[in-house]
Amino acid sequence: MKAEALAVLSTLAVSIAAQAAPEVSFRTLDVDGIKVFYREAGNPAAPTIVLLHGFPSSSHMYSGLIKELANQFHLIAPDYPGSGHTVITPDANFKPSFDGLATVMTHFIQAKGLTKYALYVQDFGGPVGLRIASKHPEAITALIVQNANAYQEGLSDKIADNIKHTSKGVTAETRPALEGIISSPSVQFMYKAGTRDPEHLSPDTWTIAQWGLENAANREIQMSLLADYHTNVEQYPAWQAYFRKHQPPTLVVWGKNDPLFVEAGAKAFAKDITNAEIHLLDTGHFALEEDTPEIASQMRRFLTRVAEQQASAAK
C-alpha cells in the first residue's frame, strides 16, 4: 500500500509541476521584412493577452508573468524592432518611430491571426498599444496598463523636459542627452528607483536590457524613438477620446513610486474610463520586478470578470 500511495503522490507531484511551469515557445515571425522574435505560451483557444514591452526592456520583462498566467490564458510577447532578439533585415522598410512600431506590431498581430485580445502595455508599450487600440477598438477585449502614460499629468518634470529638448530628432545638439538616457547608469536607475528593496532585484533584468543597447543599430533606433516621444504626447487627446467613446475594460496596475511616470498618470485614467480599476503598488517603474504575483492575481480576477460580462452581453 505504501508503494501504491507513493506512486500516486509522485504522479500528482509531476502533474502539479507541469501545471505550475507551462511550456513557453520562443519563435520568430517575418513581418514586413522584419524577423519579429516573440514568446508564446498557453492554449490558443484561451483568451489572448498581447504583452507590449517598455524601454529599455524587451519581451524578457514578461517572462515571470507568462509563467504565472499561461495555465489560464494565451500569451504572446513580441520584441519591437530595435529591441531584444528581433532582427531588421536589409530589405525592410522600417522607420524608427512610434507610428512605425505600431505598424509592425499591428501586422504582427494580424499575421498571428488574432482578432480578439487584451493588451498589456508598459512604458513604450503604451503609445504602441494605444495606437493599435484606437484604430482597432473592435479587437480589444481589455486593457492592462502598467506605468504607461496617456495623460500629461503622468509625466514627471524630468521626462517632460527631456521630451521638450529632444523633439528635434537625433542631432549633434540632442545626441549627448539621448546617449545619457540609454547609458548603463540610467538603465539601472529605471529598474531600481522607487523599489521596496533593490537587493531583491535580479541584475539579469538591466543586464539583458543593456545587452540589447550594445548593438549599434539598436542604439540609434532607441535614440530615434526617444526623440519621437513628443508624438505620443500629441496623441493623448485622441487616445482619451477613444477611452470615452469605447470604454474599454481597463485595469491599471502602477508602481506608485515611479520617478519617471508618476502616480497622477495612473489616477487620470478614471477621468475618461468610467469603471477603470486602479491599483497603486509600492514599487517603481518596472513593477513586475517586485510584484508579478500581485499583478497576475489582479489580472486573473479582472479578466475572468470581464469575460463573463462580455459573454453575458453577447447572449
Q: Tell me which residues are annotated as active site.
A: 285
Query: Quick one: cell of 242?
Result: 477613444
Measured in degrees and rounded to the nearest 5, phi and psi for residue 71 equal -80, -5
- In 3D space, the residue among 177, 178, 127, 121 whose CA is nearest the CA of residue 146 turns out to be 121
| Cα–Cα dist 74/44, whole Å | 5
| Cα–Cα dist 306/250, whole Å | 10
* β-pair partners for 117: 140
| Cα–Cα dist 124/107, whole Å | 18
What angle is formed at CA 157 by the lines to CA 155 and CA 163, rounded to 5 degrees? 70
| Cα–Cα dist 288/283, whole Å | 9
